[in-house]
Structure 1
Amino acid sequence: MRQTNLTDDFSVSAIGLGCSSMSHGYGPADRDDEESVRVIHRAIDYGIDIFDTADVYGPYTNEQLLGRALGSHRDDVTIATKCGLVVGPDGKFRRNGRPEYLRTACEGSLRRLGTDSIGLYQLHRVDPAVPLVETWGALGELVTEGKVRALGISHATCEELELVHSVFPITAVQYELSVWSTSTLDDVLPWSQKNGVGFLAFAPLGRGYLSGHVDHTALGADDSRNRDPRFSPDAMSVNQAIVEGLRAIGARHGVTSAQVAIAWTMAQGGNVVPIPGTRRRHWLGDNAAAVDLLLTPEDLRDIHNLPSAMGEMSWDQFRSTGSPTHRS
């Protein structure tokens, strides 16, 4: 697995592993902690060395799972976790960017992950009730103290990125980016490239849809994709044209639509690292193999000409939503 530079002095594998779905989001029916541990071990075998999680996934159980699975490999990989979101008594997400909370949250993540230092600590959401410079300044102190190596941020505007980057350098931003979710191509991705900041692309497979293996009629009642407008029956029918287009391109190379989707994400810039999630070793191998797929100009043109996804949210809608469907 080749490496990608997030910044000049911070590199990770060209494809990472998103761990959220192992404990969170898609419903409990298909969760299998022991298989998830095997997926993480297999990822290490493939050379994947960045693993993305968050304290709110579970909550807490995803960090515990990752910490247990990494074991003696903990110091050989980059653990990327997040803070700043909490689950209230009603089950809804709330933002908390208070400095004293973030320090407590970091201590909890360190304990659950079984490590002395978090590789990439990311602010999951900006808390409008707290001055952003205070939130980011507190996170910068954690780096100074050695509890965190580098900082990242998710779902911030370019103006917010400019502000925090001037207070303490951003190593990576994290946003959804895929063939059917392209809103960050106009502003956030160019900003990251201009400023020498890495871009972690979550959901490069469209929460599984772009693999062609998701049947919306079989989603469990607790599956968060039921609340995603792209997964409504009408939208799924229309959006099938995107999957068929990816399959046709994959046929030229003898690869899957999932590999084409991941390769497209990597092709958006040399600082882009897709972090597809999976709970099965078979799909992990498929995803990891995308690192060797180089799309041609014809392939990229054909993908550009695919129809837009029905149900795709605008950037402003995506950023402001409180739905647990739209999260990294």
Structure 2
Amino acid sequence: MNRATSVSPTFAIASDLQVNRMGYGAMRLTGQPGNFGPYADWESGQALLRRAVELGINFIDTAEAYGPGFNEELIASALHPYSGNLTIATKGGIDKPAPDNIRTNGNPENLRRGCEASLRRLKRDRIDLYQLHRPDPQVPFADSVGALAELQREGKIRHIGLSNVTLAQLEEARQIVAIASVQNRFSINDRTGEDILDYCTQHNIAFIPWGPLGANPLKQGTPLAKTEGILADIAMQHHVKPNQIALAWLLHRAPNIVLIPGTTTISHLEENIAAAAIQLNPDEVKIVSE
């Protein structure tokens, strides 16, 4: 089925938060392995972030778990004082004492601690978009969402988002507080979250796909598989690369998709940004969608 829509250069995450639909995911600007510790080349990380903003990116996604904390510090060191239209989204609700020790922690006390720590590291009085990184099976979901609602009432959070949630959890959260965004895994090769994407589109909620190029989170850079040949053929017609077509398809798939592909090189950053200008025709969108 052809679900193509016209590609808009911006999306209003909320009435007061208009962002360009090609953003940047900063996770990879951390130590390795396991996105643990500070980024090895701090100065090049700063340069990449500054170049992203120069090229028009005004939505940057990070999380307390990236580092943990060092990724937020790198963003602040590169971009503070921030330009007026720059939106920085971060996430809380995960403890990460070691690269291979990642614990979900959605306790209200931990979410408060994490939010306040992110505020300090990012040098902000209020976080534009604060997302629950992952539901905690040991904590009632409503308690975690309620904690974010309380932080919003206190003025520490501007808008609330969710990540790695089911459709039922999203609907439950919306009974408690307005939800501005959902960040779930979604790509050409992994469309298991299509019901959530369609729901978000219907309700004008930003959908921020992680792994937009189908990468395995445990092995970054895993290439696209099922549609590789199709993407290559379309890419040849547009004189671009297959990964750029994959990103362009996502932008055509729904008008509320905001992309956050990550990279550690400026050349790859520029390549990703160029994908936002690719205009796929309806037949091209259809063949990839099938």
Q: Give me the TM-score of the superposition, normalised by structure 2.
A: 0.89
**How many angstroms apart in 1 are the aligned matches of 2:68 and 2:121?**
11
Which amino acid in the other structure matches residue 266 of structure 1?
L
The one of 187, 193, 197 equivalent to 1:189 is 197
- The match for 1:274 is 259
C-alpha contact (below 8 Å) 2:187/2:212 kept by paired residues: yes
Superposed, which structure 2 residues align to 1:175-214 within 5 Å? 175-185=184-194, 187-207=195-215
**How many angstroms apart in 2 are the aligned matches of 1:241 and 1:166?**
38
- The match for 1:11 is 18
- The match for 2:5 is none
CA deviation after TM superposition for structure 1 residue 12, in Å? 1.0
CA deviation after TM superposition for structure 1 residue 76, in Å? 3.2
- The match for 2:219 is 225
C-alpha contact (below 8 Å) 1:4/1:273 kept by paired residues: yes
CA deviation after TM superposition for structure 1 residue 194, in Å? 2.1
**How many angstroms apart in 2 are the aligned matches of 1:132 and 1:156?**
10
What residue ranges of structure 1 are gaps of 5+ in the alignment?
A: 210-222, 306-328
Which amino acid in the other structure matches residue 156 of structure 1?
V
CA deviation after TM superposition for structure 1 residue 93, in Å? 1.4
CA deviation after TM superposition for structure 1 residue 246, in Å? 1.2
CA-to-partner distance for each residue in 1:225-280, whole Å, 9 max, x for gaps?
08xxx95xxxx7xx656333212101111222121011011111110011100111
**How many angstroms apart in 2 are the aligned matches of 1:34 and 1:117?**
26
Q: Answer 1 or 2: which has greater helix percent.
A: 1
**How many angstroms apart in 2 are the aligned matches of 1:89 and 1:301?**
44
**How many angstroms apart in 2 are the aligned matches of 1:148 and 1:200?**
18
**How many angstroms apart in 1 are the aligned matches of 2:235 and 2:95?**
40
Taking every aligned residue pair, what percent have the same amino acid on both sides?
35
Superposed, which structure 2 residues align to 1:1-328 within 5 Å? 2-24=9-31, 31-73=40-82, 75-88=84-97, 91-185=100-194, 187-207=195-215, 224-225=218-219, 231=222, 240=225, 242-305=227-290
CA deviation after TM superposition for structure 1 residue 181, in Å? 1.6
Gap change, CA 1:274 and 1:24, over 3 Å in 2? farther
**How many angstroms apart in 1 are the aligned matches of 2:278 and 2:147?**
41
**How many angstroms apart in 2 are the aligned matches of 1:27 and 1:144?**
34
Q: State the Cα RMSD in Å.
A: 2.3
Gap change, CA 1:87 and 1:37, over 3 Å in 2? same
Which amino acid in the other structure matches residue 78 of structure 1?
T
CA deviation after TM superposition for structure 1 residue 10, in Å? 3.0
Gap change, CA 1:25 and 1:75, over 3 Å in 2? farther
CA-to-partner distance for each residue in 1:43-86, whole Å, 9 max, x for gaps?
11111111001001111111111111111225431110000111
C-alpha contact (below 8 Å) 2:34/2:99 kept by paired residues: no
CA-to-partner distance for each residue in 1:148-188, whole Å, 9 max, x for gaps?
11000011111110111110010000012211221111x11
**How many angstroms apart in 2 are the aligned matches of 1:40 and 1:70?**
7
Give the 3-state SS of the residue equivalent to 1:119 in structure 2: strand
**How many angstroms apart in 2 are the aligned matches of 1:74 and 1:163?**
35
Gap change, CA 1:120 and 1:90, over 3 Å in 2? closer
Q: Give me the TM-score of the superposition, normalised by structure 1.
A: 0.79
Give the 3-state SS of the residue equivalent to 1:225 in structure 2: coil
Give the 3-state SS of the residue equivalent to 2:231 in structure 1: helix
C-alpha contact (below 8 Å) 1:83/1:105 kept by paired residues: yes
CA deviation after TM superposition for structure 1 residue 27, in Å? 6.1
How many residue pairs are counted as aligned between the two chains?
A: 280
Give the 3-state SS of the residue equivalent to 2:253 in structure 1: coil
C-alpha contact (below 8 Å) 1:26/1:225 kept by paired residues: no
What residue ranges of structure 2 are gaps of 5+ in the alignment?
A: 1-7
**How many angstroms apart in 2 are the aligned matches of 1:138 and 1:74?**
29
**How many angstroms apart in 2 are the aligned matches of 1:202 and 1:252?**
27
